[in-house]
Structure 1
Amino acid sequence: MFYLLILLLQMKLIKEIIDLNKAINKETRLGFVPTMGSLHKGHEALIKISKKKCKKTLVSIFVNPKQFNNKEDYKNYPRNLNNDLKILKRLKVDYVFIPTIDQIYKNKKLTKISIKKSDKVLCANFRKGHFEGVLNVLNRFVILIAPKIIFLGEKDYQQFFLVKKFIEKRHKTKVYLCKTIRSSNRIALSSRNRLLNKTNIQALSLITNKLLDLKKKIYKNRSESEALTNSAKIELTKLFNIKIEYLENRNTIDLGSNISNGPFKLFVAFYLGKVRLIDNF
């Protein structure tokens, strides 16, 4: 508690919208890093880029119930506010916004958000309402904060793709993509990794490396991408006893399935035990 009080004296911790308005009223070059807390080195990288590109940086910590299509998943999402504040203090973040659910969703007049049928691929196909929830909350944050730039991680590339298209069409805010941060065993950093045991972490490292090798094979022989991907899906399921929701190649322009020319990514979502993980390569 004493340490938290010290943090409050040195860093602007904001919980109410009225206080947010007072704090950032005159900020014109504000960087915004939206998070759900349980911060790691990936979040730190986003914050450092924001600090380089913007005059001030605001980080939000808000576990958004609207983007969870599973109540148990929302309940079990890792939370550690005291540790998060220590990290943000060390990084010298200017503003930290920690609103309640009522604070964010009290405006009932905002139009209901939907995404196009053509965009309902990958996670949007398997997590009904997830991205509608993401766009809803980020739209509300942008209206409140009016940041110059939002910083998002490449690990959630589909999220970046949809947020950029939605936010930049409606607001003056730009959406900036930041490279995926990986650990020494090449695992993409994620708050959900904290829900895994040591055995699962070892398996995740092996799975990740096999997928990185698969991407290289597909890159060299795009005409065989479907066969290579299907074969890998069968192999990974048997080797690691995992449930794969999707393993697909999509171009990075419109997330279409045509990867014959131009940049593309290999997207995956799977369950390791009860934990749902995503990545792209």
Structure 2
Amino acid sequence: MRRIQFFEIADQSWCPRIVREGVTDYLQHAIDAGRVYAPAAPVLARVLRESGRDAIIDLAAGGGGPWQSLLPVLHAGGIHPTVTLTDWRPNTTAFQRTTTHTHGQVQGHVDPVDARAVPPTLHGARTMFSALHHFREDDIRRMLRDAANAGEPFLAFEATHRSVRAVLFTCLTPLMVLLMTPAIRPFQWSRVLFTYLIPLIPLVVLWDGIVSCLRTYTPEELERLATNSSDGDYEWQTAELGDGPLPVTALWGRQRNESITR
């Protein structure tokens, strides 16, 4: 299936904030409830251990990322990183909620952060979850080059998949939004309004979900982009993780022999 760079409604400046945050709240709840990114934990743990990093800068963090489920796994392996959530349009309410649920182990960065040019004051391994497909190829090259120039590890994980099976599965998401909304906390009447009475949130989740599938990069495409974005001192790997019907696509990289030189 050919990749299509179409637009997602929640990314647009004209999308009402209440709808955008309703979409990210649902996605966050679905990620946490389904432990979607559990297959990413071993890769993340290995890169943190080998690179000697004890801080993570989570880029394009949306509703807060999968840290509520990932941190306990990392802790069980003896890894206790600090996590800073960043986004170009920070959802400060969601960030604060994640901070509360993780007892302060995850903190939100209130200022906008461009994933293609991370401020030098933010140090740590850079991660992305369900976000890489939002960027065009040139932007991804800039993003990876920026990480390589800063000497920071970079890890991106995508739960979407560019396939007919994934698109068909995504067509069920409006039903999932209707079923899951009562369990999303904190409760908000606005979320109920725009889910059940004026169903903008389920419709945007459906549209953006299908577009996300069509925009998702394959491991081969990511490997090509990564290889062209840095010199030989930085090594990249790609893989499909997990044994479910829709594996997690992963791209990660770090400086060669970093565990020896650090």
TM-score, normalised on structure 1? 0.31
Task: Select the structure with the greater relative contact order (CA < 8 A; seq sep ≥ 6).
Answer: 2
User: Larger strand proportion, structure 1 or 2?
Assistant: 1
TM-score, normalised to structure 2, is 0.33
Considering only CA atoms, is the larger Rg found in Structure 1 or Structure 2?
A: 1
